[in-house]
C-alpha cells in the first residue's frame, strides 16, 4: 500500500509539472493588455488627486460603480495593485503567475475538502480541470490579462475557497475552529461576489444549494447559513450598481433592442443548450471524464461519503447541476440582452464552472454505477474491457480537441520559437512607448508576428481606438499608432 501511494504521488507530481509548466510560460510572458492601461492611468490620476493609494483605489472603484459596472471589490483591488506602473513588466508577470497558482491551489483545496477520504482523487480531478482547457482566447482573458483575471479567475478562486471552508465548518465540531471557518468562508464568499456578476451568481447558487441539501443540519449549526447570506448581500450590492443599468441601457440603445427579464429567462435557456454543445463537443474533456469514470469504478473509490448513493441522490445532483449552470449564465444573458455569453471571458468562465459541476456529477455517478455492478456481481473483466474499448474510441477525437487547446498551443509556441519572437516584439513596443518623448505622436512599425497562446498589448493602427487612447494617456503621449508589416 505504501509503495502504491508513493508511486501515485510521483505520477501526480510529474503530471502537475507537465500540465502547469506551459501555463506558467504564458504568465511569465504576459504583457499589459486592453483595459490594463486605462485602469492603471485612472489609478495614478486618482493617487495624484487624493494623495493616498488606498483612498484613490476606493474613489476610483466607486466611480466605476456609479458609471460602468458593479464589480467594486475587484476594481478596488485592481486600482490598488496596478502591477505594471508599480513594479514594471516583471512585476506584472509575477502577479499573473501568482494568480494562476492561486487558482490551481484553491481548486485543489476545494476538491480536497469534498473528497478527503481519497487522497489521490482531488488532485486527479484538479488536473483534469486544468488540462481540459480548449477555449484559448477565454483562457488568455482570465489568466494573461490583469483586469480580466481580477474580475473573473481571481474571484472564482475565492468562490472555491468559500465552499471549501463551508464544508470544513459543516463537518467540524470544534467551536473555536468553526468560528474561524465561518469567518474564512464569509470573507472568501464576499470577495467572490464582488467581481463579475457571473462568478457572483455561481458563488451564491452553489452556497444556496449546499444549504438546501443540508437543511436538516441548519438548526443545530446556524453558522453554515452565514457565508450564503454574506455572498448574496454583496452580490446584490454589485448587481444593483447604477453603473450596471447605465451600461445595459447603453447596449440596448446602441443595438436598437428592448429586452426585459422575461426575455432573459428564455435567452438563458438557449444559451445553456448551446454552451453544453460546446462543452460536450470537446472530445478531450470527454476522454478525461471517461478515464475518471472508470478509475472510480475499477478502483472502487468512495467519492463523497461512506454512505451508499441511490438514484434519488443522483437525480438531485443532476437538478443542482442544471440550477447552478442556469443561474451562472443568467446575469450575462440579462446584462448583454443576448442568448450568447458575448465575450470570451464570460463564455470561458461559464465553461470552467460547468465543467467542474460535470466532473463532480460524473464522479458521483461512477460511485453509484460501481455499487450497482457490485450488487449484480458483474465480472471485473467485463468492466475493464468496456473501459478499454470506450477509452480507445474516445482517443482519436480527443487528439484533435487537445490540439485546439491552450495547453498544446503553449507547448508549441514555447518550443518552436514563435512565442519568444512574439513576446520580444511586444516588449519592444512597450520599451519604445516608455522611452518616447512626452506629448509626442508615436508611430511604430513592427514585423508581423502571431501567437495563439500569448496576448499582445492590443494596440492597433487606429489612433482613435479605445486601447490606443488608453496607452497614449498612460505613457503621457499625444497619440499612438502601431502598424504590423510582413
Q: What is the mean pLDDT of each run of 10 residues along the chain (486 residues)?
A: 71 78 92 95 94 94 93 96 96 97 90 74 66 72 95 96 95 90 97 96 96 87 94 96 83 64 91 91 86 83 72 90 96 89 90 90 89 81 80 82 86 92 95 96 92 90 94 96 90
Q: What is the pLDDT of residue 4?
A: 65
Q: What is the pLDDT of residue 114?
A: 82
* Residues β-bridged to residue 485: 447
Taken in order 411, 416, 417, 423, the sign of the CA dihedral is negative
Cα angle vertex 456, ends 450, 458, to 5°? Answer: 110
Q: What is the pLDDT of residue 173?
A: 86
Q: What is the pLDDT of residue 400?
A: 84
- According to DSSP, residue 373 is labeled H
Give the three cell numbers for residue 20.
502547469
Q: What is the pLDDT of residue 302?
A: 77
What is the C-alpha separation between 452 and 455, in angstroms, rounded?
8
Cα angle vertex 155, ends 150, 156, to 5°? Answer: 125
- Can you state the percent helix, strand and coil of the chain, rounding each to 5? 75, 5, 20
Q: What is the pLDDT of residue 125?
A: 67
- Report the candidate in 108, 48, 115 with the shortest Cα–Cα distance to residue 82: 48
pTM of the predicted structure, to 2 decimals = 0.93
Contact criterion met (CB below 8 Å) for 366 and 303: yes
First-to-last alpha carbon distance for the chain, in angstroms, is 60
Amino acid at each position: 500500500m505504501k509503495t502504491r501511494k508513493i508511486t501515485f504521488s510521483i505520477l501526480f507530481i510529474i503530471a502537475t509539472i507537465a500540465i502547469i509548466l506551459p501555463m506558467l510560460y504564458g504568465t511569465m510572458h504576459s504583457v499589459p493588455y486592453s483595459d490594463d492601461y486605462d485602469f492603471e492611468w485612472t489609478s495614478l490620476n486618482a493617487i495624484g488627486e487624493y494623495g493616498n493609494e488606498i483612498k484613490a483605489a476606493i474613489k476610483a472603484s466607486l466611480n466605476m460603480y456609479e458609471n460602468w459596472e458593479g464589480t467594486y471589490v475587484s476594481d478596488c483591488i485592481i486600482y490598488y495593485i496596478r502591477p505594471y506602473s508599480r513594479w514594471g513588466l516583471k512585476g506584472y508577470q509575477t502577479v499573473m503567475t501568482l494568480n494562476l497558482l492561486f487558482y490551481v491551489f484553491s481548486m485543489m483545496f476545494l476538491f480536497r475538502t469534498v473528497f478527503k477520504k481519497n487522497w489521490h482523487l482531488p488532485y486527479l480531478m484538479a488536473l483534469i480541470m486544468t488540462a481540459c482547457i480548449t477555449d484559448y482566447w477565454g483562457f488568455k482573458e482570465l489568466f494573461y490579462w490583469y483586469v480580466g483575471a481580477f474580475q473573473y479567475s481571481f474571484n472564482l478562486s475565492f468562490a472555491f475557497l468559500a465552499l471549501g471552508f463551508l464544508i470544513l465548518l459543516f463537518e467540524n465540531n470544534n467551536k473555536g475552529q468553526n468560528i474561524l471557518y465561518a469567518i474564512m468562508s464569509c470573507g472568501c464568499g464576499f470577495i467572490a461576489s464582488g467581481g463579475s456578476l457571473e462568478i457572483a451568481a455561481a458563488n451564491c447558487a452553489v452556497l444556496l444549494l449546499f444549504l438546501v441539501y443540508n437543511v436538516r443540519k441548519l438548526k443545530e449549526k446556524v453558522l453554515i447559513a452565514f457565508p450564503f447570506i454574506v455572498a448574496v448581500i454583496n452580490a446584490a450590492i454589485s448587481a444593483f450598481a447604477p453603473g450596471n443599468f447605465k451600461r445595459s441601457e447603453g447596449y440596448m440603445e446602441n443595438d436598437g433592442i428592448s429586452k426585459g427579464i422575461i426575455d432573459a429567462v428564455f435567452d438563458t435557456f438557449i444559451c445553456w443548450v448551446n454552451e453544453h454543445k460546446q462543452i460536450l463537443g470537446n472530445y478531450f474533456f470527454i476522454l478525461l471524464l471517461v478515464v475518471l469514470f472508470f478509475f472510480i469504478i475499477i478502483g472502487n473509490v468512495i467519492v463523497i461519503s461512506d454512505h451508499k448513493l441511490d438514484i434519488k441522490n443522483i437525480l438531485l445532483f443532476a437538478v443542482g447541476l442544471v440550477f447552478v449552470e442556469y443561474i451562472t449564465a443568467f446575469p450575462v444573458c440579462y446584462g448583454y440582452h443576448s442568448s450568447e455569453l458575448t465575450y470570451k471571458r464570460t463564455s470561458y468562465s461559464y465553461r470552467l464552472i460547468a465543467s467542474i459541476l460535470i466532473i463532480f456529477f460524473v464522479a458521483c455517478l461512477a460511485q453509484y454505477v460501481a455499487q450497482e455492478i457490485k450488487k449484480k456481481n458483474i465480472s471485473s473483466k467485463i468492466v475493464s474491457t468496456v473501459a478499454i474499448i470506450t477509452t480507445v474510441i474516445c482517443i482519436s477525437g480527443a487528439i484533435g480537441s487537445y490540439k485546439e487547446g491552450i495547453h498544446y498551443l503553449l507547448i508549441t509556441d514555447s518550443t518552436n520559437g514563435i512565442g519568444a519572437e512574439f513576446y520580444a516584439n511586444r516588449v519592444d513596443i512597450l520599451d519604445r512607448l516608455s522611452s518616447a518623448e512626452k506629448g509626442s505622436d508615436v508611430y511604430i512599425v513592427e514585423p508581423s508576428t502571431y501567437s495563439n497562446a500569448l496576448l499582445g498589448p492590443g494596440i492597433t493602427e487606429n489612433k482613435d481606438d479605445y486601447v490606443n487612447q488608453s496607452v497614449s494617456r498612460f505613457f503621457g503621449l499625444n497619440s499612438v499608432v502601431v502598424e504590423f508589416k510582413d
